[in-house]
C-alpha cells in the first residue's frame, strides 16, 4: 500500500510513529524525555515544558514529530526512526524555523522586539533522532547539515542520534512491538 511499510513483526510504520508521538504527548512522559536529555537540569519542572505540535512546513498538515519548549530557553525537536535519514538536519532546521516563526509572531511584544535594534534572546534549538534500527554504527552518531554543502563554513544544524537504550525503556518497548 502506498505510504505504508511493514516493520519486522508486522507493525505499520505510520501507526508506530503515531503511537510513539501520542505516548510523548503525555506531560509526564514528555518531562521524562526532557530529563533523559538534560539530567543536569535540576530546576525545570514538568509544568515548565510545553508540548509543541509541529506542522508540515510544505502542506500545513500535522507532522508525527515530537517537539517541546522549555520556558523561553530551549526548543527540542525529536523524531523516532527505524532507518537513518541523512536529511534530518535540513528537516529539523525547517521545523525549528517554523516553530520560531510562531514563537516570534505569536506574541506582539516579541514581534516588536524582533524589529528593534537590541539583540533578543531566542530559544536554543536541539535536534534528536531516537533510532530504533539495528545498525549499531548509527547509534550515538551526529548528522550535520553542513555535510550537504560544498562550502561548509557558514551554517550548521546538528541532529544527535540516540539509541533506543538512551530513552525511556517502557516507551520504546511499547512503540517497537506495537
Amino acid 144: pLDDT: 92
**Distance (Å) of CA 41 to CA 32, 34, 38, 135:** 12, 9, 6, 31
Burial of 106 (0-12, 13-18, 19+ CB in 10 A): exposed
Amino acid 111: pLDDT: 96
**Distance (Å) of CA 158 to CA 20, 107, 128, 135:** 22, 28, 8, 20
Instruction: Please report, in tens digits, the pLDDT of each residue of the chain (178 residues total).
Output: 333 334 444 455 555 556 667 777 788 888 998 988 899 999 999 899 998 876 665 565 656 578 899 988 888 888 878 888 899 999 889 889 988 999 999 999 999 999 999 999 999 999 998 888 888 888 788 999 999 998 877 788 888 888 776 666 555 444 444 4
> Max alpha carbon distance in the chain (Å)?
57
Contact between residue 137 and residue 69 where contact means Cβ atoms under 8 Å apart: no
What distance in Å separates the CA atoms of residue 66 and residue 31, rounded to the nearest whole number? Answer: 12
Amino acid at each position: 500500500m502506498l505510504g505504508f511499510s511493514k516493520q519486522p513483526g508486522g507493525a505499520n510504520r505510520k501507526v508506530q510513529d503515531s503511537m510513539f508521538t501520542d505516548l510523548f504527548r503525555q506531560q509526564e512522559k514528555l518531562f521524562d524525555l526532557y530529563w533523559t536529555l538534560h539530567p543536569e537540569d535540576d530546576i525545570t519542572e514538568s509544568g515548565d515544558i510545553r508540548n509543541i505540535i509541529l506542522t508540515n512546513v510544505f502542506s500545513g498538515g500535522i507532522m508525527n514529530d515530537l517537539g517541546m519548549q522549555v520556558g523561553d530557553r530551549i526548543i527540542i525537536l525529536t523524531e523516532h526512526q527505524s532507518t537513518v535519514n541523512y536529511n534530518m538536519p535540513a528537516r529539523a532546521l525547517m521545523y525549528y524555523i517554523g516553530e520560531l516563526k510562531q514563537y516570534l509572531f505569536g506574541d506582539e511584544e516579541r514581534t516588536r522586539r524582533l524589529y528593534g535594534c537590541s539583540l533578543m534572546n531566542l530559544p536554543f534549538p536541539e535536534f534528536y533522532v531516537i533510532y530504533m534500527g539495528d545498525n549499531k554504527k548509527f547509534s550515538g552518531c551526529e548528522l550535520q547539515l553542513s555535510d550537504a554543502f560544498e562550502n561548509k563554513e557558514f551554517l550548521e544544524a546538528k541532529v544527535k542520534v540516540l539509541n533506543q537504550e538512551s530513552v525511556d525503556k517502557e516507551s520504546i518497548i511499547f512503540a517497537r512491538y506495537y
